[in-house]
Amino acid sequence: MSEKQEPILTAEHISVSFGGLKALDDVSLDIYPGEIMAIIGPNGAGKTTMLNIINGFYKPDEGRIIFEGKERPKNMKPNRIAAEGIARTFQNLALFKGMSALGNIMVGRTMMMHSNIFSQAIYWGFSRKEEIAHRKAVERIIDFLQIENIRRTPASMLPYGLRKRVELARALASEPKLLLLDEPMAGMNLEEKEDIARFILDANEELGYTIALIEHDMGVVMDICDRIAVLDFGKKIGEGTPDEIKANPKVIKAYLGTAAG
């Protein structure tokens, strides 16, 4: 990452409250093109709230989001933000259970389809060509994530680890400029975590995706992330490389513990 490189996204002085609880308190962070950035901290620190601010699910009480050099309108809806290039996976799976893995992944291409409803209904002309092109793109993602053998399986019948992989595939299918991953390895066994960590690294290094993730497995975070921001009780208490974070006294005291040193 060049020192002169501009951030793809800046969250500037973000504050948001829910009732009497201040979930984020004057938090600023930058995400740079081509990096993997982690947002870590104890439960309730405000990590998922920050992702929800970035992709428009929540609106900040104070502060602003700047994406690709432009300040985002405060009333911009999440679907518009997604169309501009920010994709998201969720801590709790959000798949269509009755739909096949392939169908779920195709949903990620929806905003990129331009044929009208009539031509889609009769599968004719431009609509047919567009469908074929999108299907080819999805098949490349299926090959990339090594889920060829479950493409026709309903999501409800898949084991948890493969459902998480399908959700990652759906996010990749939208070809995002910024990919947000909310605890992509939560609930997984060691082998599943290793697989997902490898796919995240490959998506970054081979496919060129910029990634911001929340993850509690510090071994994974320290291994795959370029930079880390640490939240505690809604405030940012540290930011830097993995080595800098491991040596940060505030972070050690609040989250990592003495073993991190």
In a domain, 92, yes or no: no
Query: Is 154 inside a domain boundary?
Result: yes
Q: What whole-number percentage of the chain has pLDDT above 70? A: 89
**Which domain-ending residue is among 175, 195, 228?**
175
Mark whether 116 and 56 lie in a shared domain.
no
For the chain, give the DSSP string.
Answer: --TTPPPSEEEEEEEEEETTEEEEEEEEEEE-TT-EEEEE-STTSSHHHHHHHHTTSS--SEEEEEETTEEPPTT--HHHHHHTTEEE--SS----TTSBHHHHHHHTTGGG--S-HHHHHHT-THHHHHHHHHHHHHHHHHHHTT-GGGTTSBGGGS-HHHHHHHHHHHHHHT--SEEEEESTTTT--HHHHHHHHHHHHHHHHTS--EEEEE-S-HHHHHHH-SEEEEEETTEEEEEE-HHHHHT-HHHIIIII-GGG-
Residues 152 and 183 both lie in one domain:
no
Given pLDDT bands bounded at 50, 70 and 90, which one contains residue 113? Answer: low
| pLDDT tens per residue, range 185-214 | 988 999 999 999 999 999 999 999 999 999
Arithmetic mean of pLDDT, 79-83: 92
Domain identity same for 73 and 109: no
pLDDT, averaged across the chain: 89
pLDDT beyond 50 at 136: yes
Report the domain count for the chain: 2
Same domain, 183 and 171: no
Q: Which of 147, 175, 203 represents a domain boundary (last residue)?
A: 175
Clarify whether residues 261 and 191 are in a common domain. yes
Query: CATH number of the domain that 70 lies in?
Result: 3.40.50.300
Domain hosting residue 107, numbered range: 97-175
Q: What pLDDT is recorded for position 247?
A: 93
120 in the same domain as 48: no
- 76 & 184 share domain: yes
* pLDDT of 23 above 80: yes
pLDDT for residue 4: 62
Q: Per-residue confidence at 116, pLDDT binned at 50, 70, 90?
A: very low
Q: Per the confidence metrics, is the pTM higher than 0.85?
A: yes
- Say yes or no: 53 and 166 in one domain: no
**Where a domain ends, among 156, 175, 194?**
175
Whether 52 shows a pLDDT value over 60: the answer reads yes
Per cent of the chain over pLDDT 90 is 74
Q: Tell me, yes or no, whether 3 and 48 share the same domain.
A: yes
pLDDT of residue 2: 43
